Each structure stands twice: as C-alpha cells, then as structure tokens.
Amino acid sequence: MSQNERIFGIHAVESFLEKSPERVIQLFLQKNRHDKKLSHIEKLANNAGLRFQQVDKRKMDDWINGNHQGVIAEVKINDALMNENQLLELAEEKQDLLLLVLDGVTDPHNLGACLRTADASGVDAVVVPKDRSASLTAVARKVACGAAEHVPVVKVTNLSRFLTKLKQQNVWVIGTAGEATSDLYQTQFSGATALVMGAEGSGMRRLTREQCDQLIKIPMSGSVSSLNVSVATGVCLFEIVRQRSR
C-alpha cells in the first residue's frame, strides 16, 4: 500500500532522489539559498528529469513543523507492511527471528532512530503498542532515512498478550532494565529473540516486564546512569549481531 506524504531534510530527500526518483511527485527548494548540499539535490533532480519549485523559507516553515534544511519533497511512501497475525506466522517459521519491541517510546525522533538501527542490524520487525507509542510521522521518517520501507512497524492492541503468543512460538523475550543482574555481554542470544526496550525514565510497563523471560542491563562505567533509548537499542542489537555472526 502506498500513500503520498511530504518528507523533508537533506538526507531524507537525497536518499529518495538517489534510490527512487520515480516516486518523487514534487520537489521544493528554498529560494535564495545556495550551498553545496542543496546544489547536490538540484543535480540529482536534474539527472532524474525532475522539475523543482523554489519557495520562500517562511512558506516552507509554515508547511513543516521541523528543520526542513531548505528542501521538502512530496513522495509516494511504500511502507513495509505486516500485521500481528502475519508476524506470529513468521515467528513460527523463522528460527533466527529477531524482533525489536518498543514499550512506551513516544518521541518520534527516538522511533525513527530505533527503526534505522533495526534496519541496519537485520531486525525482522519493530513491534509497538497501539497506545503510548510514537507514530510514523514525517519527523520519524526523516530520522529513519527510509528504514520504514524495509522494516515493518507492527502495532499490537495488547503488548503483554502479544508477548505471550510470541513465547508460545518459542521466541525468547529479553527485556532491558537498569536494575537487572544479567549483563548484556554475558547473555547468550541464540534462537528466535525479541528484544524489549522501555521508555527513558519509566522503562517498561509492569505487565510487559512480567512477560520477559530474562532481564539484562548494559554495563555502565561512567557517571551517567542510563543511555538514550535509541543509543541503548543500537548497543544491544549489535551485540546480538556480533554473536550471531561468529
């Protein structure tokens, strides 16, 4: 399923022009702005035979709630789609399944960053609850840099119940918590795994925590007690990648 949406920012628009210029419907560049990055956008558009409109910065500011960096594009979005039942079917079939579960992550910047890391680390799907979760807004898409087209974001009605169903498919559910006694680097990540990350501050909800087969923590050496959820997600996912690549 495709939909039209405005994306913004140098990197996000540049990625579309390089990979899928045929899906760019309209391109808007900031009038009277001249720099190398926008010149590169112009060159990509010209190479693809795309016309662009030059628009006043004030007008572009009205269109976008965020830092557009002088470039906005209307594009056809083809998100990777998967529903709850399809994901459970995949869990039954795939022995090395890797899922990222985000519980209570409401900041679209964090969702986008987690999605980008999930794509880079080979995650099969990102699972979020329908309530208390960020959506795939233009801001999230900008940060994700196209990852939403490759990694499905599966919204589930009841996260605790869904984790129960995953466990019935022999998926090992591992949650992260600062008070956990198990260390990330001492944990074996073999077989189908669902990594659960909670929101900063409050962490996982109680019912989500109770469904975890194991709780782990990232060892911290400095004075900072915790990491941003997207950074912590990257640390954990790439430790799983490291172990699986051996």
Name residue 20's amino acid: S
Residues 6+ apart with CB under 8 A from 168: none
Q: Is 27 annotated as a binding-site member?
A: no
Residues 6+ apart with CB under 8 A from 217: 176, 177, 178, 179, 180, 181, 182, 183, 184
Please, are residues 237 and 118 in contact by the beta-carbon 8 Å criterion? yes
Which two structure tokens, joined as six digits, stand for 81? Answer: 């789609």
H or E element in which residue 73 lies:
strand 71-77
Residues 6+ apart with CB under 8 A from 205: 103, 104, 159, 198
Q: Is 81 annotated as a binding-site member?
A: no
Q: Is 122 annotated as a binding-site member?
A: no
Which two structure tokens, joined as six digits, stand for 38? Answer: 């926008």
Which two structure tokens, joined as six digits, stand for 102? Answer: 């985000």
Distance CA(241)–CA(200), nearest Å, equals 24
Residues 6+ apart with CB under 8 A from 107: 134
- Known binding-site residues equal 198, 218, 227
Annotated binding residues for S-adenosyl-L-methionine, written as ranges, equal 198, 218, 227
